[in-house]
Amino acid sequence: MKHLFVALVLLASACSSSGPGFEQRRLVLAQLVDEVVLPGLDAFVDKADALKTAVSALCASVSQTTLYAAQQAWLDARLAYKHTQAYGFGPADDDGISVDVDFWPARPDTVEKAIAETTSLDDAAIDKLGVSSKGLPALEVLLFGDIGGDDAAVLVAQADSKRCGYTEALGKALARAAGKLRSAWRDSFADELRQAGSATSTRYSVGRRAYDDWINHLIASVELIVSKKIGVPLGKSAGFVQAELVESPRAESSIADARGTLEGISKSYGAGAKGPDTLQALVAQLRPAVASDVRTQIDGLDALLAGVTMPLGVLMVDAPAKVEPIYEAARTLRQTFVTEVAPALDVKVTLSNNDGD
pLDDT digits (tens, 9 = 90+) for 197-206: 999 999 999 9
Domain boundaries, position 175: 38-202
> Contact, 280 vs 292, CB < 8 A?
no
Residue 226 and residue 195 share a domain: no
Three-state DSSP at 36 gives: helix
Residue 239 and residue 291 share a domain: yes
Of the three residues 202, 232, 262, the one that is the final residue of a domain is 202
Give the pLDDT score at 351.
67
Residue 114 and residue 221 share a domain: no
Helix axes 279-286, 288-306, angle to 10 degrees: 140
Residue 239 and residue 213 share a domain: yes
* pLDDT more than 90, % of the chain: 91
Give the pLDDT score at 275.
85
Residue 224 and residue 174 share a domain: no
As a whole number of angstroms, the distance between CA 178 and CA 84 comes to 11
> Contact, 91 vs 97, CB < 8 A?
yes
Residue 78 and residue 133 share a domain: yes
Of the three residues 202, 235, 270, the one that is the final residue of a domain is 202
Give the pLDDT score at 167.
98
pTM above 0.85, yes or no: yes
Residue 233 and residue 90 share a domain: no
Residues whose CB is less than 8 angstroms from the CB of residue 123 and which lie 6 or more positions away in sequence, other chains included: 172, 173, 176
Examine residue 28 and state whether it is found in any structural domain, yes or no. no
As a whole number of angstroms, the distance between CA 59 and CA 56 comes to 5
Examine residue 16 and state whether it is found in any structural domain, yes or no. no
Examine residue 2 and state whether it is found in any structural domain, yes or no. no
**Number of folded domains in the chain?**
2
Read off φ and ψ for residue 217, nearest 5 degrees: -75, -35
The CATH code of the domain that includes 149 is: 1.20.1420.20
Examine residue 26 and state whether it is found in any structural domain, yes or no. no
Examine residue 20 and state whether it is found in any structural domain, yes or no. no
Examine residue 303 and state whether it is found in any structural domain, yes or no. yes
Residue 178 and residue 75 share a domain: yes
Residue 168 and residue 230 share a domain: no
Residue 183 and residue 52 share a domain: yes
Examine residue 265 and state whether it is found in any structural domain, yes or no. yes
Residue 254 and residue 152 share a domain: no
The residue ranges of the chain whose pLDDT is under 70 are: 1-21, 351-357
Of the three residues 168, 202, 236, the one that is the final residue of a domain is 202
Helix axes 324-336, 288-306, angle to 10 degrees: 160
Residue 236 and residue 195 share a domain: no
Examine residue 278 and state whether it is found in any structural domain, yes or no. yes
Radius of gyration of the chain (CA): 22
